[in-house]
Each structure stands twice: as C-alpha cells, then as structure tokens.
Amino acid sequence: MLCVPIFWGLIVTDLDEIEHWVCPDLLFNDGRLQPDQALGLVGDMISTVVQITSLPEQARIHHLAGTISPGFVDLQVNGGGGVLLNSTPTREGMCAMADAHRKFGTTSIMPTVITDAPHVIEHAVEAVIGAVDTDGICGLHIEGPHISVDRRGTHKAEYVRPMDRDTMDQVARLRAAGVPTMITLAPELVPPDDIADLARMGAVVSIGHSKADSRTVETAIAAGAGCFTHLFNAMSHMTGREPGVVGAAINSSAYVGIICDGIHVSDDMVGLALRARPDPDLSFLVSDAMPTVGGPLEFDLYGNTIRLHQNRLINDEGSLAGAHVTMAESVARLVRSVGVTPEAALRMAITVPSAVMGLNLGRISGCKSSDLLCLGAGLMFEGYLSDALAA
C-alpha cells in the first residue's frame, strides 16, 4: 500500500483516498516534460504524481489539454503593476510587483534594485527581509552600483561608485537573515578579494554592466563570481582577438541570464549563444521587467519619464531602460522564434533560475493548484490550474 505524505500533517495511506486526479497532455515536473502523468489532489494541494497506468479503477479523472507546469521564476524584476522598486523600496511595493507578474504566470520573483543612493538599497534590504518567502518574493537582486560608468545603460552615473563597506554590510545583513541574494558588479572595478568575500557570505556574484576583458572576467570567476547579468546587454562584446565579457560568459561554466524579447537580443543571437554554451542548464531567462508590465505605459526613473514606444522602454539618453516583457512571453518566444524545445524553455524559466539561487522550486508535489500553470500550444500561458478546474 502506497503511503503519500502531504502538508498540514495529513497522510494519504492509499491512492483511493485521493479526491480526484488531473491528467494533462504533458506535465513539466522537476525539470522534465512527460506525458501520461496524473496529479492527485487533496483539496487544492497536489499530494502526489503518478503514471496514469497506476491509477485506481474508480479514480475520478479530469483530463486537461495542454501542459501543466510550476510557475515561472524570474531573478531580475525591476518593477511591475506601476511600481518601480527603486522608487518604492518597501514590502508593499514588492508585493505589488509580485502580484502584477503573477497575472502572467510568474509565481516567484527576485525584486531588483538598480544603482542608486545607499539609503535606497538599505530600504530595499529592510523590505525584503520582511517580505521574503511571502507572495512569491524569493530574494533580492542588487544590480549595481559598483559598475562601469561606460556600460551603465540606464543606471544613473552619479550613483555609480567603487565597492564600499556599506554594500558589503547590506549583503551580510541579507545573508544573516537567510535571504537569497544576487549582486551584479563590474569585475574591473571590484577587487577579487571583495568578490571572494561576497561569495563566502553566500551571495551569488553576477558579472554585468562591465567593459572588462576576458582575463579580468576569468579572475573574477576564480574568486567566486558564478553568474552573468543579461548576456550581450551592457557588457563588452566579442572581437576576433578578445572575447570580452560576452565571449567569456558564453565560454564559462557560470550561469548566464538572458532577456528574450527580440529587442534586447536578437532571436538569432539568443540561439547562437545557447548552442555555444558548454552545458544547456547554465542559461536562464530573466525579464528585466519594468513597472509597465501589468501597469501604466510610463513611469518615473531618476526623475525622468520613461515611456513605452513600440514595445521599447527608452530613457532621455536613448538607452533601453529595462524591458516590457513577461516570462510567459519569453518562454513562448524561445519555442516559437528561437527554436528551443519546450522542455528546455521551461527549464530556462523554472529549473535553472531555481538552481542559481538554491531555491526548492519546480516540483509539482506539494504545490497548490493555484500555483500551477496551464500552458497551451507553443507553451502560451492560459491561466492557472485552479481556474481550469473551477470552470
């Protein structure tokens, strides 16, 4: 007799005790896309996943077309629902962002505070310590301020500064509170010893907004940097004689985030980079989303109005100011335009980012039906399993 533990202290001692079963065409679970799977529900909780052939004869079965998957995991979210974290570095602001992205299938976000005054970063740290593990908030990404002025993108130059004790103390505070933390920095400006200290704290050190040469990048990786921030964007490019940050990232065994909106990086270059990487499970999607996702079509950044025009967010200098894209759109684009397999696309949106930050995400058992996605043809997001069951 099968004994299946589930939450709330309840024990299911027999498959016959499961209230009903959901059988989708395909199930993405723990990194694999499989047919012929059945999800056993007790209340709104998935208690177990078994092969359809294992179901009891009298099982109540709900067949669903399409794919069921855990929610998307986004490690770079600047804003959403009209809220920019830099402008509203509060728990309420983070929750509003998470709620906006949840409407598009992203159930776990890492709010991202970009280059700003020290007190803004401090407020974001305070907020996430109180918000982590609630409403899908899974940590904090500090993007800057220790970056290259020449490769700062939309980050404000006056706030760019060398690595300082204040940032080290804020990261230490996050890690002491158990908050998963990523920090983006330029290795030509941050000494290897500081990178090593950050890595020892348990922070994920990500290389980005950098004009470093490949040797400097390799030194940073040896010191403990384990990730790259939005490949191709705001980093030195490859040439015939110098790989730059882009080439060093592609060649490395570090994790690499990439924006897949057809604007920040062309679909052809996304495909080329993915094929060139040493391991397919080293690359992951990020949205780099701004407040326009699920919100008004303009917002304020550093006192300037950023407007959405032809799906591009542009600042006063003509630089891209983040992205107006969801993880759901990015996943579908990977399949439709880049030619990535559905399983690989879902791994890039769920399995790999979870692994980057050491998160326990991507498994169906123990999830609520309200946290599981229904994906249609081409992995287009159609809603949540709870809504499909209630229809």
Tracing tokens 């985030």 back to the chain, one arrives at 257
pLDDT at position 315 is 83
pLDDT at position 5 is 36
Please report which confidence band the pLDDT of residue 58 belongs to, taking 50, 70 and 90 as the band edges: confident
pLDDT at position 162 is 96
CATH number of the domain enclosing 9? 2.30.40.10
Of residues 276 and 54, which shows the higher confidence score? 276
Q: Is 215 helix (H, G, I), strand (E, B) or coil?
A: helix
For the chain, give the percent of residues with pLDDT over 70.
96
What separation in angstroms does the CA of 23 have from each of 110, 309, 385? 31, 42, 11
Q: Are residues 210 and 163 in the same domain?
A: yes
Q: How many CA atoms does the CB half-sphere of 27 hold within 13 Å?
A: 23
Q: Are residues 151 and 300 in the same domain?
A: yes
CATH number of the domain enclosing 159? 3.20.20.140
pLDDT at position 309 is 87
Distance CA 353, CA 282 (A): 9
| Model confidence at 316: pLDDT above 90 | no
Q: Are residues 294 and 202 in the same domain?
A: yes
Dihedral of the alpha carbons of 375, 379, 381, 386, in degrees to the nearest 10: 10
**Candidates 279, 288, 300, 387; catalytic one:** 288
| Model confidence at 244: pLDDT above 50 | yes
pLDDT at position 314 is 87
Q: What is the mean pLDDT of residues 23-49?
A: 95
Please report which confidence band the pLDDT of residue 2 belongs to, taking 50, 70 and 90 as the band edges: very low
Q: Are residues 50 and 126 in the same domain?
A: no
Q: Are 236 and 213 in contact (CB under 8 A)?
A: yes
pLDDT at position 10 is 38
Q: Are residues 223 and 307 in the same domain?
A: yes
Q: Are 219 and 195 in contact (CB under 8 A)?
A: no
pTM: 0.95
Q: What is the mean pLDDT of residues 236-246?
A: 96
**Number of other CB atoms surrounding residue 5 within 10 Å:** 12
Q: Are residues 215 and 264 in the same domain?
A: yes
Whether 316 sits among the annotated catalytic residues: the reply is no
The DSSP letter of residue 385 is H
Residues of the domain holding 56: 4-69+364-390
| Angle subtended at Cα 84 by Cα 79 and Cα 87, rounded to the nearest 5 degrees | 160
Q: Are residues 118 and 194 in the same domain?
A: yes
> Residue 384's Cα: distance from chain center in Å?
19
pLDDT, the chain, mean: 94
| Model confidence at 8: pLDDT above 60 | no
Q: Are residues 119 and 45 in the same domain?
A: no
| Model confidence at 295: pLDDT above 80 | yes
* Count of domains for the chain: 2
| Angle subtended at Cα 287 by Cα 284 and Cα 291, rounded to the nearest 5 degrees | 160
Q: What is the mean pLDDT of residues 29-55?
A: 94
| Angle subtended at Cα 255 by Cα 249 and Cα 261, rounded to the nearest 5 degrees | 80
Q: What is the mean pLDDT of residues 343-365?
A: 96
Please report which confidence band the pLDDT of residue 320 belongs to, taking 50, 70 and 90 as the band edges: confident
Distance CA 248, CA 234 (A): 14
300 CB-near residues (< 8 Å, 6+ apart): 84, 87, 306
pLDDT at position 7 is 36
- Cα end-to-end distance, the chain, whole Å: 34
For residues 318-353, one letter each, b for 16 or more C-beta atoms within 10 angstroms of the residue's C-beta and e for the rest, the string is eebbbbbbbbbbbbbbbbeebebebbbbbbbbbbbb
pLDDT at position 19 is 77
Q: What is the mean pLDDT of residues 208-232?
A: 98
Identity of the residue numbered 389 = L
Q: Are residues 322 and 215 in the same domain?
A: yes
For the chain, give the percent of residues with pLDDT over 90.
89
**Number of other CB atoms surrounding residue 7 within 10 Å:** 12
Q: Are residues 62 and 76 in the same domain?
A: no
